[in-house]
Structure 1
Amino acid sequence: MTDHGIEFPVFRLHVVPAVLALASPSWQRDVWLQPEEFENLDYVINALFDDFCNADDPAPWLGKSLRTEEEVTLLTSSPS
């Protein structure tokens, strides 16, 4: 499925799973701690900060790889 509402829809194929991985302790245990698995914490951090978004300043990515203001807010919010 192609998301025509943003400039770089393919970037979401990296951003969304990275966010979901950070939100899932069971995924972190089952995947990141297994050396034979492709995905690791370095990949997730690179996806969110270097390659497909900038989690330090996500506002410029609105309309590019982020769809809504809520997504921008969620990336900038600290866990409570």
Structure 2
Amino acid sequence: MERYASAEMNRLFSPAYKFGTWRRLWLALAEAQRELGVEISDEALAQMRARLDDLDLERAAELERRLRHDVMAHVHLFGEAAPAAKGII
């Protein structure tokens, strides 16, 4: 696909963009839940914000092999990157 698509299309369909979008959705969900009264610490949100683009795709692949689930691999990976938020991701 890379040679048939524009640079922008390649970026939009890249694993890094997809998994970064998942993280942004999880952060937005946590922020909305907090606004509605769910107890989510400042530290948890700060860690999530700070680690949005810190993707270790090799570690994600390792977790996916172990868990046999792509989304759960990234849930665990984000929890490793933002330990204060691990229980709410």
TM range (shorter): 0.3 to 0.5
TM-score (structure 2 length as normaliser): 0.30
Question: Larger C-alpha radius of gyration, 1 or 2?
Answer: 2
Q: Which has the higher contact order (CA 8 A, sep 6+)?
A: 1
Higher helix fraction (1 or 2): 2
TM-score (structure 1 length as normaliser): 0.33
